[in-house]
């Protein structure tokens, strides 16, 4: 069995061979650039730029893997500001002894996800560290995109806005946590990891007047809503009964003592937009492969600023706060 060696990260013949055999083979001829920088011909002066790192364990889980996660996560971050994703970089930290076949699977998954998202992986880097200095594979991706709809920002919420979500919550975090502990047998759980390019670009093409978008990854819906409320200095009220939640995730979170609203998602989008736009937006979202369970879950209020209130199914209200500390380590 071929494995990653320290020499694969040393900058010599072995490293060049690894890049050619794994990454350039996976990403395809359109992305074959072997210079130290990729040269991009960008269509606009309005460019979004983002970066993220991914350290998920296990590397492969129902519904995805670290490669799909790395591409989808960065693509979705670009989409949140109304940008069409154009190009990504991918940097790998590899542990000595990693099976080469594992790396090939990850690279192939990244290439497939990039094609789905309509984005190219144009440059990258590879480093190899000794056994025990990393956990198999860490990936950092950065992305650039063309701003199609300026002004979409977490600071743009307005009282009266509707709050929408594109589907069920908590799928990714619950799946990865149970997979890590070997508890998925007989459980119908899959990560929601997906690039949301088609859905978001469809909304923008239709002229939907979106004020803000956020992908509720680490910290889940609770953290994302609190960030939005704080950025815009407004209050947000959400209805527990309106939040889509699969029975499997509900059962898993109940067994583990977790709030599904604090559990990570990797293929969902929160939207805040004028109330009259909500039904048009929901129709477009539900027509997407990743938006069939899109729902209106709340509204934006004038204040108290920075507060998120959850109206429970029992008719009571409580503050919906982000998780404290690291609730679910190694899920993103």
Contact 213, 284 (CB under 8 A): no
pLDDT band at 329 (very low <50, low <70, confident <90, very high): low
Contact 114, 74 (CB under 8 A): no
Angle of helix 197-205 relative to helix 66-79, nearest 10 degrees, comes to 10
Q: How many residues does the chain have?
A: 332
Across the chain, mean pLDDT equals 92
Determine whether 327 is exposed, middle or buried from the number of CB atoms within 10 Å of its CB (0-12, 13-18, 19+).
buried
User: How confident is the model over 81-97, as a mean pLDDT?
Assistant: 97
pLDDT number for residue 2? 87
- In the sheet where 137-147 sits, what is the strand order? 47-54, 137-147, 83-95, 120-129
pTM: 0.91
Domains and CATH numbers, the chain: 6-147 (3.30.1330.10), 162-319 (3.90.650.10)
Contact 278, 162 (CB under 8 A): yes
Contact 184, 71 (CB under 8 A): no
Strand partners for 83: 147
Position with higher pLDDT, 46 vs 27? 46
For the stretch 232-285, pLDDT in tens is: 999 999 999 999 999 999 999 998 889 999 999 999 999 999 999 999 999 999
pLDDT number for residue 270? 98
pLDDT band at 31 (very low <50, low <70, confident <90, very high): very low
For the stretch 167-203, pLDDT in tens is: 999 999 999 999 988 887 877 899 999 999 999 999 9
Contact 23, 33 (CB under 8 A): no
pLDDT band at 231 (very low <50, low <70, confident <90, very high): very high
For the stretch 113-162, pLDDT in tens is: 999 999 999 999 999 999 999 999 999 999 999 999 999 999 999 999 99
Helix, strand or coil for residue 305? coil
């Amino acid at each position: 069995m071929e494995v990653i060696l320290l020499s694969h990260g040393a900058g010599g013949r072995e490293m060049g061979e690894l890049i050619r055999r794994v990454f350039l083979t996976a990403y395809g001829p359109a992305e074959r650039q072997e210079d130290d920088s990729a040269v991009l011909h960008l269509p606009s002066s309005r460019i979004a730029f983002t970066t993220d790192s991914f350290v998920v364990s296990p590397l492969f889980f129902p519904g995805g893997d670290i490669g799909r996660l790395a591409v989808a996560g960065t693509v979705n971050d670009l989409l949140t500001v109304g940008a069409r994703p154009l190009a990504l970089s991918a940097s790998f930290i590899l542990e000595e002894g990693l099976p080469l076949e594992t790396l090939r699977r990850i690279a192939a998954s990244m290439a497939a996800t990039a094609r789905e998202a309509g984005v190219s992986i144009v440059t990258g880097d590879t480093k190899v560290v000794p056994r025990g200095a990393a956990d198999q594979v860490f990936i950092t991706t950065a992305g650039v995109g063309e701003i199609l709809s300026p002004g979409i920002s977490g600071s743009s919420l307005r009282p009266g806005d509707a709050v929408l979500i594109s589907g069920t919550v908590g799928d990714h975090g619950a799946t990865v946590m149970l997979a890590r502990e070997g508890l998925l047998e007989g459980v119908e759980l899959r990560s929601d990891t997906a690039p949301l390019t088609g859905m978001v670009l469809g909304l923008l093409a239709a002229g939907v007047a979106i004020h803000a978008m956020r992908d509720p990854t680490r910290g889940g819906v609770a953290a994302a809503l609190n960030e939005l409320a704080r950025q815009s200095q407004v209050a947000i009220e959400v209805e527990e009964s309106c939040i889509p939640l699969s029975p499997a995730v509900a059962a898993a979170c109940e067994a583990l003592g977790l709030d599904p609203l604090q559990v990570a998602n990797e293929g969902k989008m929160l939207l805040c937009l004028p109330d009259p736009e909500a039904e048009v937006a929901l129709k477009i979202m539900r027509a997407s492969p990743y938006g069939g369970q899109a729902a209106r879950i709340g509204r934006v209020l004038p204040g108290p600023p920075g507060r998120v209130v959850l109206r429970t199914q029992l008719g009571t209200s409580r503050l919906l706060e982000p998780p404290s500390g690291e609730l679910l380590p190694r899920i993103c």
